[in-house]
Structure 1
Amino acid sequence: MSVSARFSAEALELARKLGTSTLFEASGLPTSAVDPAVRPVWAGASVAGSAYPVECAPGDNLAIHVAMEKAPRGSILVVATGGFVAGYWGEVLTVAAEASGVAGLVIDGGVRDIAALTARRFPVFTRGISVRGTIKASVPSVGRTISFTGTPVATGDLVVADDDGVIVIPAAQAEATLAKGQARADKEAIMMQQLSEGRSTLELLSLAQWSQR
């Protein structure tokens, strides 16, 4: 995967290792998690990188084609469509993305050519699948801050996506969130070792009083 210009390879590797669930809890930002209806096209897909926000008119994917020429290498396209499900993205754009260094796609609309996307192992997270084609007539927004299913997304924000969902962390809070995420993961590793030794979650989470009720 190409390295996002804003984040180091080490930071992105850590983000993927920690995963969305841990980083969401570490962020303390309720709006960092996008609509859970946005799901990976293929099981096991994961990606981390800098956001490149795009807004499409319903049923119109011209803005995506423009974004492919402008997005820095290593970017993840975050595409708002107003939830209109159509085939905004398929195998042709996937091949173009791989050639241009785009690392992945998060879209609240739809995609198609699922077999090809799966075979190429290109990370795509989408609201739905649709064979319906799109027109190319307008470019509402490319590279400017958007609201993606209620989550603010600006160019350069940290996007992490995996089987559990998609989160977007503001760039200014990414480093602190990764540090808190690592601390949380370390704490959970100790807890899981203690659980394997026979201790209970009620005990470890200081909830033992509830066992008496």
Structure 2
Amino acid sequence: MTTPAAEPDAHPFTRLPTTTLADLLGRARVMDTGIRPLWGPGPRLAGPAFTVRCPPGDNLMLHAAIHRAPAGSVVVVESGDLEYALAGGNVCAVAQRRGVAGFVLDGLIRDLAETREAGFPVYARGVVPIPGAKAEVRPLNEPVHCGGVRVEPGDVVVADEEGVVVVPSADTEAVRTAAEARLREEATQTLDAWETSHRTRIDALLAKGGFHD
């Protein structure tokens, strides 16, 4: 399996595919398939979560977050609806200019063409042209639920065309070490060797279940 070369200042998890991380962490740490890249192909997104909760029809706290999220962070939003846009082109542009790595939103955006042209990574449920209101104040950087996964501030969020995985902050070093070891092993294995090992394992499972050719 080929892994991308990360930029010198990129987050270390940028090198790690979500497929490898999902194998290690299991289904509970993988967001549902509705959270997807809104443009692509794009770079793998990885960074510590800066979490936001927006109530139905309101996007004030995401607009507040772009001025407060640290450079390199992934802004993760729990949204209360799928009727109104949480962000548009200018919000994404300001976030990008301030060094935010990208957005992972359990909701919608607008101005997708601007965001795609700027190359700002957005993973969300889709697009809609109507914006939400800006009235409801909520705390920032508290635990949220996004795509069916509980996300704590500082958890490492990794997203690519395969999906979105959330690595608990307490486990980042152990998961990173295990993922890198698995990728090194895979890189040295030929397809012939994989096929032989795979056939042996599958045949053993079939025999255990009583299957006969």
Shared fold, TM over 0.5: yes
Distance in structure 2 (CA, Å) of the matches to 1:197 and 1:141: 49
Check 1:83–1:188 CA distance in 2 against 1; reply closer, same or farther (3 A cut).
Answer: farther
Tell me which residue corresponds to 2:57. Answer: 59
How far 1:200 moved relative to its partner? Answer: 6.5
1:5-48 CA deviation, whole Å, 9 max, x = no partner? xxx946x24x22221111121234x3211121100011223210
Query: Runs of 5+ in structure 2 lacking a partner?
Result: 1-7
Q: What is the Cα deviation at residue 90 of structure 1? A: 1.4
8 Å CA contact retained: 2:85, 2:110: yes
Question: Does structure 1 retain, via aligned residues, the 8 Å contact 2:75–2:104?
Answer: yes
Shift of 1:155: 1.4
Aligned to 1:87: 85
Q: Distance in 2 between matches of 1:186 and 1:130?
A: 42
- Does 2:15 correspond to 1:34? no
Percent same amino acid at aligned positions? 34
TM-score (norm 2): 0.85
Alignment of 1:14-163 (within 5 A): 15-28=13-26, 30-45=27-42, 46-163=44-161
- Give the aligned partner of residue 199 of structure 2: 202
Q: Deviations over 1:155-210 (max 9, x none)?
A: 1110100001111111110111111111222233334x14379746313xx22344
TM-align CA RMSD: 2.2
- 1:198–1:21 distance in 2 versus 1, CA, 3 Å: closer
Q: Distance in 2 between the 1:59 and 1:198 partners?
A: 51
What is the identity, as a one-letter code, of the residue corresponding to 1:40? Answer: P
Given that 1:55 and 1:81 are in contact with CA atoms closer than 8 Å, whether structure 2 keeps it comes out as yes
SS at match of 2:41: coil
* Alpha-carbon distance in structure 1 between the residues aligned to 2:25 and 2:164: 13
Contact between 2:16 and 2:180, CA under 8 Å: does it hold in 1? yes
Structure 1: 5+ residue runs without aligned partners? 1-7
**Deviations 1:91-131, CA, capped at 9 Å, x for gaps:** 11011102222110000110111111111110000011111
Match of residue 185 from structure 1: 183
**Local SS of the residue matching 1:59:** coil
Give the match's secondary structure for 1:207. Answer: helix
TM-score relative to the length of structure 1: 0.85
Q: Aligned pair in 2 of structure 1 residues 40, 198: CA closer, same or farther (>3 Å)? A: closer
Q: Which has the higher helix share?
A: 1
Answer whether contact 2:93 2:115 (CA < 8 A) is retained.
Answer: no
